[in-house]
Structure 1
Amino acid sequence: MHLFLSTVSMPGIAGIMMTLATGPGMEMLGPKKFLLITLLPAGIPWLVQAFTPYLSLFYLGRVVSCLIYTALGPVTAVLIAEISVPRIRGLLLSVEEITVAVGQLAMYVMAHSLPWDVATAVCAAPMILVASLTFLVPESPYWLIRRGQKDAALESLKKLRGPTENINLEFQEISASIQGIRQITIKDQIKQLARPQNYRPVLLLTAVFILRELGGQYVVFSYSVYLFRKAGVGLDAFVCTVLVGVVRLVFTVVGAAVVDSVGRRPLLIATSLVCGAAEVVGAVFLLVDVPGTSWVPLAAVMVFVSSYGLGIGPIPWALMGELIPTPVRSIGSSLCNLNFSIFSFIISFVFPYLLEIGLGFAFLVFAAANAFLTVMLCAFLPETRGKSLSDLEDTFQSSPGHSE
């Protein structure tokens, strides 16, 4: 149990360390180059874990793979937000969550049907593919303009928008949002973080990520087999776990397809509410222990997973790229990811002790966090659908209220 607990907690521990370097790395090298440097060696630690005969090297491979994984969230959110057009930005920002869902489902299947070393080695292949595709992605025009490389920024926009598009207006908007604000170094961004319109969205998104973790998502996906066995579900636990992966993937794709038409705000509020309600239902049936109702906790988990994939999973990452203003986007996204990693570790570490009180009680704690998240979103979250990053720069200048 201690080995399993340390392995499950590893991403959170690694994330705490890696986020301290992600923001400065993005700002120094540029989001695209930092992403490429992170991805190029990403397959090696998986191969080390698969084939090393030494436990110390296995743990080293696990730590390095987790370091790489935790760097990808803020870097991809920033880069995609800064290179995409508003009408499909939500869809593109959801692609990362779709790949996570695909990878998680693949791991469920491989863990059940392949030897663990083969399944682990296979994980290196997607890293090589993604690293190769990253070479084709232009650098962020926002970063290039901040660095005074205006010609390179224009060339980047031409590649991104196509030769027939008029990019002059967008170039001027980006330049205007950056003009007069010194933000070349992390020290400059820390100074900019003191301004209300810059720290308010960072605080809001930090709270969103913390409450999302306290809502139990990490536990549901990391301890799924254990949860089903503990709940006494009649189906084979691995079948239930694969079903979790399929449901998450399907609804993540659906969420990505509708997020640019429905909007981030209503989708996130609705799914956080449904996640909390599903946990309450599951908790009640676990605490009451009615004979013949073991399917109810399974159904509650499936409702939670579908709602998570539909909105509460991908949308916070999208908002991190959209709501954090340009002057503090690198450091702000890193701070959000830092708190996400800290609370991922706390939840994964504390959850086994919560089980000593009871699984039903743990679900009630998670439901309370989702209820609080729903209230906070209703009160403070603005809508970002269809707006350019330049339009969103001053959303929080007066107060973090609604913005339609």
Structure 2
Amino acid sequence: MSFRDESDDGHLRKPLLHTGSWYRMGSRQSSMMGSSQAIRDSSISVLACVLIVALGPIQFGFTCGYSSPTQAAISNDLQLTVSEFSLFGSLSNVGAMVGAIASGQIAEYIGRKGSLMIAAIPNIIGWLAISFAKDSSFLYMGRLLEGFGVGIISYTVPVYIAEISPQNMRGGLGSVNQLAVTIGIMLSYLLGLFVNWRVLAVLGTLPCLVLIPGLFFIPESPRWLAKMGMTEDFEVSLQVLRGFETDISVEVNDIKRSVASTSRTTAIRFRDLKHRRYWFPLMIGIGLLVLQQLSGTNGVLFYSSTIFESAGISSSNAATFGLGAVQVIATAVSTWLVDKTGRRILLIISSTGMTFSLFVVAVSFFVKGFVADDSTLYSISGILSLVGVVGMIIAFSLGMGPIPWIIMSEILPIKIKGLAGSVATLANWFIAWVVTMTAPLLLSWSSGGTFTLYMLMCALTLAFAAILVPETKGKTLEEIQLSFR
């Protein structure tokens, strides 16, 4: 419906999508002013949408961080053993795996907004179940429900952001997903210092209570609408996102061609995966999300209090909050950098920094095993382990935290996005659960050996990023799909 034409005097005319009326583009100066105004309108519209759906990842982070400041209080009030509380902490990962399996199909059949609405409801019920729990059964049920909602959120939000963002802003806006997760973790640490665990659980409902009404004020993903054949809604959604003064004809045609080329066969078959345009992006998407967890970041974060104590820091909860604040700042820097430097280079820098930092941590623990507890070398080793952990978190937040989710949402072909996205998200949550469950066992076996294993995984990630991961900076989603053909 949007197209370009010339008037008799050579000036360009363009129809406004929402009114169908004509206007004239006069002088070069007014054209430039209109263009800059359209860019501002587009930025504001898309940013507003991203900030609303970012409430989902804040919920995600709050769920991840909740168990850290509440362990002692919940265990004392409900008489839980260490193993019972460990089960409580890990059940969110189990619920997230179930949510991940369903996430792709839910997002494909009822849309990105509809799937976020569905995800918000079990999160609210789960937090309330935990808040009013009188025994472990309500705790477990609430944690499973939270995890289910988080599993859907972890797939849907990055996909929605990627599908609504202009190509020059997609990386930075995509990084907001991980930034919101880190903010949620930090908030749970901070509020956990001042309120009891029941009140903290009630506060956990707030992101989703705001998200549900917020979803009514933002447009659905135009690419999903186009795929579902809702042509008029698709163009209206895209026009709202890009601004009413913007000519969207080129982007409309690109999306239509992309959807048409992938709609000739309605279902993906396993034999189709032998084609490079399917197996290669699927391998990269799953590989990055698996390596993100195999780096051991969850193990380091969940058991950082032990490292802080060994470094001589008395208030481990305050130190954990400080680590969360560092993670937020570093992720914010990544949000600013990702569209300037590119995804691939940040992945390489991030995995290199993580490898070096974990080498420092591993060496410090090996040294501590051979020296006396009251020696100067022992104290220096404790400080080095602390520096290494902080360095690892900074390096992770710069690249391996946000970028695997961005790349997954960018490179998966629209034909297999639902199925492949579910598989990639499930793999991420399964490995997260494995790392979380095995970290205490590995640390009791050998702290230095544990961090050496994590270091080797980071070195493998460096090789994977340098050799296989393509650069997607500055390309439309349609151009990225074309490159795999």
What is aligned with 1:14?
Answer: 95
Gaps of at least 5 residues in structure 2 are 1-81, 369-376
Q: Is residue 2:152 matched to residue 1:152?
A: no
Tell whether 2:255 aligns with 1:168: no
- In structure 2, the residue corresponding to 1:393 is in which secondary structure? helix
* Match of residue 362 from structure 2: 283
Q: Distance in 2 between matches of 1:356 and 1:328?
A: 42
Shift in Å at residue 342 of structure 1?
1.1
Query: Tell me, what secondary structure is at the counterpart of 1:394?
Result: helix
Find out whether 1:123 has 2:204 as its counterpart. Answer: yes
Paired position in structure 2 for 1:53? 134
Q: Which residue identity does 2:284 align to in structure 1? A: L
Which of residues 327, 332, 355 is equivalent to 1:248? 327
CA distance, structure 1, for counterparts of residue 272 and residue 191 of structure 2: 47
- What residue in structure 2 maps to residue 271 of structure 1? 350
SS at match of 1:139: coil
- Check if 1:213 corresponds to 2:301: no
Tell me which residue corresponds to 2:223: 142
**Contact 2:91/2:140 (<8 A) preserved:** no
Among the aligned pairs, what percent are the same residue? 27
1:303 aligned to which of 377, 391, 397: 391
Judge which range, 305-314 or 41-50, deviates more.
41-50
Q: Check the 8 A contact 2:334/2:397 in 1, yes or no.
A: yes
Alignment match, 1:401: none
Q: Which of 241, 258, 261 does residue 177 from structure 1 map onto?
A: 258
Q: By how many angstroms is 1:189 displaced?
A: 7.0
Residue in structure 2 matched with residue 64 of structure 1 by the alignment? 145
Q: Shift of the alpha carbon at 1:232?
A: 4.3
Residue 139 of structure 1: how far off its partner (Å): 1.1
**What is the TM-score of this pair, normalised by structure 1?**
0.93
How many residues in Structure 1 have an aligned counterpart in Structure 2?
A: 395
Mapping for residues 104-119 of structure 1, pairs under 5 Å: 104-119=185-200
Structure 1 residues 131, 184: CA separation in 2 closer, same or farther (over 3 Å shift)? farther
Give distance in 1, aligned partners of 2:185 and 2:147: 15
Candidates 301, 312, 325, aligned match of 1:233: 312
Q: Which has the higher contact order (CA 8 A, sep 6+)?
A: 1
Alignment of 1:367 with 2:470, yes or no, is no
Offset of 1:258 from its aligned partner? 1.3
- 1:323 has 2:411 as partner: yes
Query: Do the aligned partners of residues 164 and 130 (structure 1) sit closer, same or farther apart at CA in structure 2, a change above 3 Å counting?
Result: same
Q: CA deviation at 1:3?
A: 2.4
**Range 351-360 or range 247-256, more displaced:** 351-360
C-alpha separation in 2, matches of 1:258 and 1:232:
32
Deviates more, 1:14-23 or 1:373-382: 14-23
User: Deviation per CA, 1:56-88, whole angstroms, max 9, x where unpaired?
Assistant: 122111100011112111111111111110111
Contact conserved, 2:117 with 2:212, CA < 8 A, in 1? yes
Q: Deviations over 1:9-67 (max 9, x none)?
A: 22322222222211111111112221122224532211220122232122111100011
Contact 1:8–1:348 (Cα < 8 Å) also in 2? no
Q: CA RMSD in A?
A: 1.7
| Pairwise CA distance, 1:226 | 3.3
DSSP-derived class of the 2:463 partner? helix
Find the aligned partners of 2:452 and 2:142 in 1 and give their Cα distance: 36
